[in-house]
Chains A and B, each alone.
Chain A
């Protein structure tokens, strides 16, 4: 089966940096995605990693280590609007997308 683990909840302070980790064990790997989901809304695409290393996009960066089955999403200069759930999703050899349970991030003043 597919197994994707993320912390359930995290809290961080406005202006700070937070790292959300994701570990995975899947049958097949075609890439790892991070999505942001605000309560009651659909997920929005944040980042995509298929090769090892760091992908930077503005205040968001995502890292992947395929040998370790590990990824993290790094959020810098946190803003109150960053309070949301962050979903790690792995695209498997069957080209389906399997989601972790999500990490609920709360940004406090």
Chain B
């Protein structure tokens, strides 16, 4: 089955620093990856769509200069939270789009394990 990894799983940083989160599809190539954010007891909210080799598409209200996304290869997308502040503390989850090559249903998103970001 399709496996997506995320690193780090948990990060604590000081206000004003930048944090990079990696998302990797381990056994399939993902031309499209998605970044979500989830606050406690709320649903996943899509932040941006990351397309390999092109600029990411951001959802309304998400600052592209604050949340930098790079999708340099078919198996890796990174999200960098620049100048993080306490209000950026959240659970960040990536997903990778699998078009069925891994044997699962056609066009399914598989999620990474998530990254818990705490900004002090």
Residues of A at the B interface (CB closer than 8 Å) are 30-31, 33, 35, 40-45, 48, 87, 91, 95-102
Known A-B contacts A30-B107, A48-B105, A97-B34; A41 and B43 likewise in contact (beta carbons under 8 Å): no
Once bound together, how far apart are the Cα atoms of A99 and B39, in whole Å?
A: 14
Chain B residues lying within 8 Å of A33, measured Cβ to Cβ, are 108-109
B42, A101: Cβ atoms closer than 8 Å: yes
Chain A residues lying within 8 Å of B109, measured Cβ to Cβ, are 33, 45, 97
B43, A100: Cβ atoms closer than 8 Å: yes
B49, A96: Cβ atoms closer than 8 Å: yes
Once bound together, how far apart are the Cα atoms of A79 and B77, in whole Å?
A: 36
Q: Which of A41, A45, A91, A95 contacts B113 (CB 8 A)?
A: A41
Once bound together, how far apart are the Cα atoms of A91 and B49, in whole Å?
A: 14
Once bound together, how far apart are the Cα atoms of A40 and B95, in whole Å?
A: 16
Chain B interface residue count, Cβ-Cβ cutoff 8 angstroms: 23
Q: Can you offer 10 A-B residue contacts whose CB atoms are under 8 A?
A: A40-B116, A41-B114, A42-B112, A42-B114, A43-B111, A44-B111, A45-B111, A48-B108, A96-B46, A97-B109
Chain A residues lying within 8 Å of B46, measured Cβ to Cβ, are 96-98
B111, A87: Cβ atoms closer than 8 Å: no
Chain A residues lying within 8 Å of B44, measured Cβ to Cβ, are 43, 87, 99
B104 at interface, CB cutoff 8 A: yes
B43, A99: Cβ atoms closer than 8 Å: yes
Q: Distance (Å) between the CB of A23 and the closest chain B CB?
A: 15
Chain B residues lying within 8 Å of A87, measured Cβ to Cβ, are 43-44
Chain A residues lying within 8 Å of B93, measured Cβ to Cβ, are 42-43
Once bound together, how far apart are the Cα atoms of A96 and B109, in whole Å?
A: 10
Once bound together, how far apart are the Cα atoms of A7 and B44, in whole Å?
A: 16
* Segment 24-64 of B: residues with Cβ below 8 Å from A: 32, 34, 42-46, 49
User: Can you name the residue of chain A whose Cβ is closest to the Cβ of B91?
Assistant: A40
